[in-house]
Amino acid sequence: MRGPFLLGVAVLLHLARPRVVLVASSLLAAGGVLAVACGFPDVTFGSEDASTTEATTTADGAASDGDGGGGGGGDARADADVPDAPVINPILACPSLCADAGVGTCDTDGTCLIACVAAGTCTDPVVCPAGIPCNLTCTGAGSCTGTIDCNGASACKLNCVGAGACTQRITCKGSKCSVVCSGAGSCTGPIVCNSPSCDVRCKLPDSCAQAITCTGSTCAVDCAGARACKGDVTSYAPDTNVSCTGMTSCAGRVSCSGTSCNANCSGVPSCIKGVCCDAGMCTGMPPACL
């Protein structure tokens, strides 16, 4: 009985095999149709290598290699040459920027000259032309009572000669900035110098009544007038020289940092609130950072 039974089972399995193959083939065909209908990639079912290859191919330009989506184009844009800022010839540019614009007159080297000679003139804000040197002179008493902006000029020279001249904020940049307050009670607003070379001179009594701040490479502040430099004098420049020789000058705190700082407090009295020196080398008044 055992022999015929095994033979019968073998026959049945052999007869059923085509149907199994047919069913499997039908499932694969249906899966392909479904993939096409859903817009899936043309992947060969049952082949792991083919699916991996296709995934990499379809992800091309979208971050398949981990470089941020084919970053070559982005790097090329980032590395594109940026054109240098145009170099301005002050002799050629001054007429249009200064004279023709009604700001001032031009000298032979292309410097814009702004002169406020009469008393009470230049009461509106003064803005020096950008890209060329600027020389502002406030001779009249009570002249230049608006803000003075010399940030855009290539170099600045400001002279506050008249009594009570230059009463508002003064700001300057450029390659060098010179602010001379030679009138009694002149430069009564804050002075901010962000030029590589700052030179502030407060010559007469009660000049430079508010804070003086400078940065850049060098900062020189001369407080020679009586009661000059009433506000704080602060320098962040590597090389600082503050001279308080006027009677009761430098009534505020003198603070400096950088490489070296020299504070001369020889006025009687002067530097009433002390000197705070955080520089590598401090000379003159001993530091008193309290």
**Does residue 65 carry a pLDDT above 60?**
no
**Does residue 155 carry a pLDDT above 80?**
yes
Closest CA to 259 of 276, 242, 275, 282: 282
Closest CA to 172 of 151, 197, 188: 151
Give percent of the chain with pLDDT exceeding 70.
68
CA angle 250, 254, 259 (to 5 degrees): 140
Q: Model confidence over 102-123: pLDDT tens digits?
A: 899 999 999 999 999 999 999 9
d(C-alpha 140, C-alpha 116), whole Å: 6
Q: Model confidence over 195-244: pLDDT tens digits?
A: 999 999 999 999 999 999 999 899 999 999 999 999 999 999 999 999 99
